[in-house]
Amino acid sequence: MFLNAVMLAGLSAAVLPIVLHLLNRARYRKVEWGAMMFLHDTETRQLDRSKLAQYLLLLLRILAIATIALAFARPISRNAIGPTDAQRLAVVIVIDSSPSMLHPEQAATRFDQARRASLGVLGQLKRGDQIGLVVLGRPSDRDIPLTTDLQDVASQLASLEPALSVADQADGVRRARALLTVAGSIPSEIFLIGDRQRSAWRNIESISPPDAQRQRIVAIPVGSTENANAWIESISIPNAPTIAGQTVEVELRIRNDGTVSRNDLPVTISENEKPIETRNIYLAAGATEIIRVPIKLPKPGDMLLTASIGASGMPGDDAAMLSVDVLETVRVVAITGESSQQIAKSPAADYSGDTDYLRLALTPLATSRQKGDDAFRFKLYSDDNWPEIDPQRDRVIVLSDVSHMDAARVRTIEQFVFAGGGLLLAPGQRTDPKIWNQLLYRDGQGVAPAGIQAIRVAGEDTIRLVGINTSHEVFGFYAGRPDPLPPVTVFRWAQFADPPQGATLASLQNGDAFILQRTYGRGRVVAIATALDADWSNFALSNLYLPTMQSMGCWLASANLSSHNVASGGAIEYTFDNPKERGAMIVRPDGRTDKVPISIAGGTGTLIYPDTNIAGRYTVRAPGHGAVDFVVQASGEESILDLLNDEQLDAMLAPTTIQPISPDQLTDAVGRMRKSTELSLVLLTVGLALLGAEMLLAQRSIPTPEVA
């Protein structure tokens, strides 16, 4: 074998001495003259010696030129039977098994093509070679170290299944080099086999070029740049919490990155793997569709919702999951400044009570005695007889025009909110700004989002509601509506002092805040500048009141819901009472089970699990407690197929000297780093020696006429 076979063309120069010899011979002709008869014997002997010298010189020149040409072609010597100790090879195959590899490519997936290429590399190794395997998408502790059992690695490749995690070819090179550290001085080759997904190759430029004398890296991209993927980008419930028996909208973002529109794409929503709603949609090429599907979940508790679409491109992103905490009802405890005798008649026939409109907005069916279940359960108490607050039962507290407040009662409210409860504050005729500021606001340390500067009266000029923050969940129901705000006129309001501790959700035309919100500990607080009845404004009489109070009640009640949905790469955190042991088990989406320690403090166990690199369902099993499901949302990195063409991939690989080849070029790609004896120096030495011998012989030769 020759490392520089093109130089074999130099062998043609070996004919030059023959050509020159023939041309030189043609310059002489034979002339007979009389005295030659006396020199015949001497001439014959000289001619014989001259011919011998000429032919020897000719041979030396031919051999010298041929030997030097062979030396420049860099011939190598290999054992024809098998590799010797000096000729063994260490090879690591890095194969991409990330979700994007499941995209179909003609009759097979790109993963099938990558597996065939890997087996092709393996098939060209010889007895005594070492092989290692790195599977991108699986953790590094599952890499196969170097082994001479080629058949075992071939079996593992043949049975290899795609993984669920993203791929990083640069990380694959680092892991391959780690495996090769045990190979010592044996030359090595690394083969990177995967699709053209840009995210998989994005860090490849950080790889240092290999030592050309000891290591070679080859990239084998499989598949084309075709993209036919449609996928579910997200699933969510915008208006939390979800209440058993109540209609809730599931919002889906479905994206078509392919070049072909999808007609009648089936979309299915399932509850704990049981289909509950199906519809077909049209999804144009390159478009994203947002749809809302109304569903009902009949039972309270933890539910697992799954949205799926028909097969399209990569199967791994055709479904998305959402963990939902379904409540029985939202218990609202309202405390008002009215007397116990007045609230006993609530709701009044003329809705003259402080909270009659609020009760109607939150419990329209129960208040009007219609059939059906309301999302809220409303309990009203007088502030001269404060109720016992139960954080396990009560979700929202309403303080409406409360006058009887003291530090102990406010401290109870603060503890409730800090632990995750919701609080709605509304002033009224009995509200004293001084008490509000001293007990509820406390210079920003209290639970109220702002202090009250004064109680303002509009007088002859009417003050109207002019703006709401539709990006906030409370007013999310109004987002995208083309119609203007209903006419809400305010006659009297509490002017909140600047700056507030939270955000403004609604504003009046004079610039004053109408609704403020803030977080307090784990809980949420909303303060309205006007009374909840119709005495200070016509807000309670507008068609904005009912949806606002419903949405506000849901937002306040959902503060303490333990979210079992985790962003990709985030940590799973689970807190539970009375742990039986100091460890729990987590079953991952890839089937692996990990043991996780539990930290215990004051009878409460806390589990933190950060290894969430794979999207999907994680089940926590703690001794003495039921199984709890968490859902790690997909990042979408694999689903957004940004595929490199040959020129783009070549440009990314150029700084690393990694050589890209196609799968069709595998035949001659394996084993180029195999150790062998290069004969260039030996041949060059022989060639120079032949030239030296030719020079010596030429000097000693006696020129004689050419004999025919």
Start-end of H helices in 270-375: 340-344, 356-362, 364-367
pLDDT for residue 40: 52
Q: Where are the beta strands (DSSP E) in 137-271?
A: 144-147, 188-194, 215-221, 230-236, 242-243, 247-256, 262-271
Integer Cα distance of 486 and 510 in angstroms: 17
Two structure tokens written together for 143? 């890499």
Integer Cα distance of 130 and 136 in angstroms: 20
pLDDT tens readout for residues 315-351: 889 999 999 988 888 999 999 999 888 888 878 878 8
Of 213, 269, 223, nearest to 242 by C-alpha is 269
- Backbone phi and psi for residue 466, each to the nearest 5 degrees, phi listed first: -120, -15
- Backbone phi and psi for residue 487, each to the nearest 5 degrees, phi listed first: -70, 105
Integer Cα distance of 437 and 496 in angstroms: 10
Distances (CA, A) of 68 to 10, 63, 71: 8, 9, 5
Two structure tokens written together for 140? 């590094």
- Backbone phi and psi for residue 465, each to the nearest 5 degrees, phi listed first: -75, 125
Contact 101, 638 (CB under 8 A): no
pLDDT above 80 for 468 = yes
Average of per-residue pLDDT values in the chain: 86
- Mean pLDDT in residue range 481-509: 90
Two structure tokens written together for 201? 């190759």
> Taking the model in full, what pTM does it have?
0.71
pLDDT tens readout for residues 387-429: 999 888 899 999 999 988 899 999 999 999 998 999 999 999 9
pLDDT tens readout for residues 258-313: 889 999 999 999 998 899 999 999 999 999 999 999 999 888 888 899 999 998 88
- 3 state SS for 614-632: CCEEEEEECCCCCCEEEEE
Contact 115, 150 (CB under 8 A): no
- Per DSSP bridges, beta strands 422-426 and 396-400 are parallel
- Per DSSP bridges, beta strands 188-194 and 215-221 are parallel
Farthest CA pair distance, the chain: 165
pLDDT tens readout for residues 588-645: 988 889 999 999 888 888 999 999 888 899 999 988 888 889 999 988 888 989 999 9
- 3 state SS for 541-592: HCCCHHHHHHHHHHHHHHHHCCCCEECCCCCEEEEEECCCCCEEEEECCCCC
| Eight-class DSSP state of 444 | G
3-state secondary structure of 23: helix
pLDDT tens readout for residues 105-126: 888 899 999 999 999 999 999 8
- 220 has which bridge partners? 193
| Eight-class DSSP state of 115 | H
Contact 203, 289 (CB under 8 A): no
- Mean pLDDT in residue range 350-370: 88
- 3 state SS for 385-441: CCCCCCCCCCCEEEEECCCCCCHHHHHHHHHHHHCCCEEEEECCCCCCHHHHHHHHH
